[in-house]
Amino acid sequence: MGQVQSSTRNDSVSKSAAKTDNNNTVTKLYEHQLLKRCEHIHFDVEAWYKILQCQTFYTEFIPISPSIAQAFVNYYQTRYNSKKLLNLNDLELIQSIQYQLKQQIFNSKTNRFQINGSFIRLSSRSPKDGNPLNSQALIQLYHQELNRLQAKYLNECDSIEGKANMELIAYCYAQFHCLKVANEFEALNLILTSERIFIDLLRALDCQQVQNNKDINTNNIKLHDCGTNKKDG
């Protein structure tokens, strides 16, 4: 009987040690990611915009809180990864961003952006892989540009390489122009359907959780030390 209890206790200790090691590994991983991210902070648009605003496009900023980031992640997980995480609160947060986009960026009375569209991005990440709200726009723009190129450079179509080159140029043109948005619905759709942004937000939230846990542990240690000192006194 004693041997069984000892074995059970040892198994419990082993599992606890394994869990601790795993948590430490995850923490170190996210700390490494945070350090790498810190190296690129100076390249984020919000870091250099005030310095170069006279030399670049006019830009407006809308802050994204961790709760809104989580709502974006939950939307992507629900829509593309078959995980039913999206809830009513998430929808309300997403709608709040939609409203901010409308009021701050696409308000016809205060709109300082170009009539032919605006580009949207999250800090250093643009939703290049996001789906345009008009799913046919990419195809239409592609054929439109390809026809223009073929009419302008007739001899380029004679070779396989030349034809492939024009097709690639036309595709890049179409993709670039599909990133231009004219209203809050198009902007939000690019953000919510971008895997690049989803992964960035997922990592950011994980790093935030690790940091929160470290803060909690630090506070617990301080409280423990305080309680010990009082007892000693």
* CB-based contact 49:59 (threshold 8 Å): yes
DSSP 131: P
- How far apart are alpha carbons 73 and 85 in whole angstroms? 9
The SS3 assignment for 108 reads coil
Give the CA angle between residues 122, 128, 129 to the nearest 5°: 115
Is residue 219 scored above 60 in pLDDT? no
Assigned token pair, 188 = 């939000």
Average pLDDT, the chain: 82
- How far apart are alpha carbons 36 and 11 in whole angstroms? 38
Task: State the residue for tokens 């935030």.
Answer: 208
28-64 pLDDT tens trace: 776 776 677 677 778 888 889 999 999 998 888 999 9
> What pLDDT sits at residue 94?
97
Helix (H) or strand (E) holding 118: strand 118-119
143-173 pLDDT tens trace: 999 999 999 988 887 888 999 999 999 999 9
